[in-house]
Amino acid sequence: MKTINIAKDYSDTPLGRFPADGEFNGTRFREEYLRPALTGEDKVSVQIDGVEGYGSSFLEEAFGGLVRRGYFTPDQLKQKLDLTYQDQDFKMYRDLIWRYINEAKPEKGQ
């Protein structure tokens, strides 16, 4: 099982959706960290606490984008993706991530 600690492996200040939004944006996290890990492993654990916080743009693009881009279905992600945190403040972000995954619709042509 692969583990990704967002704060340590990526940034403790993730922000925005696209590269134009900032260096540690959701697209980059999805394409360089999340998608390769999910493609190569049966199970991926993502530790989501330890960061300053998350805006909707980052979370939707990083996690909802996995479904919108046609990489995975929500059911596949339920099997493969484990979101962990020690800091209970981050429960709200875990819930938000699953909401974005479940609400995402594959884009046309994906």
Partner 1 sequence: MLPEHLDFERDYDTTASHFNLIRDAARGRYKIKYLGFELIEEISPAAALVLASEVHMWNRRITGRLRAVHETWNPNIKRLLCEMGYFELLGLDRPSSPGPTGDVTFLNFRRGTSDPIDKGKLAKELRIDIEGLVGTGIKKHEFYQGLSEAIVNVGQHAYPEGTSYASRKYWWQSASFDRRDRTLTVMFYDQGIGIPNSLPATGFLERIRARFDRWPDSLKIKAAMKYGRSSTRRGERGKGLQDLVKFAKAYPGGRLSIYSGTGLYRIQHGADDTVETVRHDYKRSIGGTLIEWSVKL
Binding of partner 1 by 71 (CB under 8 A): no
Residues with Cβ within 8 Å of residue 102, at least 6 apart in sequence: 74
Q: Which of 27, 34, 60, 71 binds partner 1 (CB under 8 A)?
A: 60
Please name the residues in contact with 76: beta carbons below 8 A apart, sequence gap of 6 or more: none
**Residue among 35 and 69 whose Cβ is closer to partner 1:** 69
Q: Which is nearer to partner 1, 35 or 85 (CB)?
A: 85
- CA separation, residue 78 to residues 42, 52, 63, 108 (Å): 11, 26, 12, 23
For partner 1, the binding residue among 1, 9, 32, 55 (CB under 8 A) is 55
Check residue 64 for interaction with partner 1 (CB under 8 A). yes
Q: Report whether 55 contacts 63 (CB < 8 A).
A: no
- Sites of contact with partner 1 (CB under 8 A): 11-24, 52-58, 60-61, 64, 68, 89-90, 93, 100, 104
